[in-house]
């Protein structure tokens, strides 16, 4: 299977869709209706309210939307990796890796605000990488900040990705205070329009849309499935890091900078669930995109042909077993 997706053939798009359907089959056999969490933004809550009339009549709408989001994100992220030359040859391994990773936890099979945010983050990370050697970056910086502000309307702690924007401005181009001000203006613009509309309709209550911020230690379920999923996340990640280190001197300068940006991105996704903590594993799915970049590198650059095959089929076996276990409980 890794050999199939290592090729850049358009037919692999159809295989990816079938691949995702098979791995996420339980979510269609037992559709779950998502419930908004306190950390979820008002746009996500409104979105669930809009879909609520279908809860009884067509509950499959929720796993269907989740599948479409994952599939679109996988293809968009795959295009980003190929366009930025993070691997020396185009493939569909980044998309395959992302689909695999989103199956590691039952909570990640469902529609959630963090899954919606991942769609916007694919665009954001792609836009940030275009800052390198960009002679007129102001418009791109503003638009990136704008999308980031919009992302916080779906999942408020996503505003912490402002740190990623700041790091990109420092590492990918000569830093200017004016760029930082444009980025901040972009982030604040959605809130400006929101508060303006609230004022005009005589519904001035901004605290409803600005949740209080708290920090707490998120808990993880300590069972064999969680431990297995974490191991399957870490092992290909560490292998990918080793291969990146081995090829670092052969990379173009902007590719090295992008991998540095991916590290910062990964660290932030692992810290964000500490903000406005709720006892749910949904929000860790934010880490799926940066993990997928490193996993795909491990699959692509492995010098031993048996290693990616074993990693892939152990992962698939784990996901199938998890589906069976969840269906029996």
Give the model confidence (pLDDT) of 14-25 as tens digits. 999 999 998 888
Q: Report the alpha-carbon distance of residue 87 to residue 83 in Å, rounded.
A: 9
Give the model confidence (pLDDT) of 125-169 as tens digits. 999 988 887 778 888 899 999 999 999 999 988 888 999 999 988
Q: Which residues contact 210 (CB under 8 A, 6 or more apart)?
A: none
Residue pair 286/118 in contact by the 8 Å Cβ criterion: yes
Q: Which residues contact 154 (CB under 8 A, 6 or more apart)?
A: 40, 41, 43, 44, 47, 113, 116, 117, 120
Q: What is the pTM of this model?
A: 0.92
Percent helix, strand, coil in the chain, to 5, is 70, 0, 25
Residue 40: strand pairing partners:
155
Q: What is the pLDDT along the chain (329 residues), one digit of tens a residue?
A: 667 777 878 888 999 999 999 888 888 888 888 888 877 888 999 999 998 888 788 888 999 999 999 999 999 999 999 988 888 888 899 999 999 999 998 888 889 999 999 999 999 999 998 888 777 888 889 999 999 999 999 998 888 899 999 998 888 888 788 888 999 999 999 988 888 888 887 777 777 777 667 666 655 566 788 888 899 999 999 999 999 998 888 888 888 999 999 999 999 998 887 776 666 777 889 999 999 999 999 998 887 888 888 888 999 999 988 888 877 66
Dihedral pair phi/psi, residue 296, rounded to 5°: -65, -35
Q: Report the alpha-carbon distance of residue 79 to residue 66 in Å, rounded.
A: 20
Residue pair 16/92 in contact by the 8 Å Cβ criterion: yes
Domain limits, the chain: 2-327
């Amino acid at each position: 299977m890794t050999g199939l997706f290592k090729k850049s053939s358009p037919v692999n798009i159809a295989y990816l869709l079938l691949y995702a359907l098979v791995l996420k089959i339980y979510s269609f056999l037992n559709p779950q209706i998502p419930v908004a969490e306190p950390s979820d933004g008002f746009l996500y809550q409104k979105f669930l309210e809009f879909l609520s009339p279908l809860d009884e009549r067509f509950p499959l709408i929720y796993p269907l939307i989740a599948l479409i989001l994952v599939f679109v994100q996988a293809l968009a992220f795959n295009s980003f990796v190929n366009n930025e030359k993070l691997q020396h040859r185009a493939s569909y391994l980044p998309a395959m890796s992302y689909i695999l990773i989103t199956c590691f936890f039952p909570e990640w099979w469902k529609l959630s605000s963090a899954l919606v945010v991942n769609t916007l983050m694919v665009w954001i990370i792609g836009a940030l990488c275009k800052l390198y050697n960009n002679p007129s970056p102001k418009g791109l910086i503003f638009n990136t900040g704008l999308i980031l502000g919009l992302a916080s309307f779906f999942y408020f702690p996503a505003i912490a990705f402002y740190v990623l924007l700041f790091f990109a401005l420092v590492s990918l181009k000569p830093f200017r205070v004016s760029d930082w001000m444009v980025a901040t203006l972009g982030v604040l613009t959605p809130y400006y329009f929101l508060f303006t509309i609230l004022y005009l309709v005589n519904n001035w209550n901004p605290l409803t849309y600005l949740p209080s911020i708290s920090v707490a230690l998120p808990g993880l379920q300590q069972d064999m499935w969680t431990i297995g999923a974490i191991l399957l996340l870490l092992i290909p990640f560490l292998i990918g890091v080793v291969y990146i280190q081995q090829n670092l001197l052969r990379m173009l300068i902007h590719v090295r900078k992008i991998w540095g940006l991916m590290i910062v991105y990964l660290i932030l996704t692992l810290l964000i669930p500490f903000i406005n903590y709720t006892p749910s594993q949904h929000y860790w799915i934010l880490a799926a995109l940066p993990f997928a970049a490193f996993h795909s590198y491990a699959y692509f650059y492995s010098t031993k042909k048996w290693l990616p095959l074993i990693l892939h089929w152990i992962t698939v076996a784990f996901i199938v077993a998890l589906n069976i276990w969840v269906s029996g409980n």
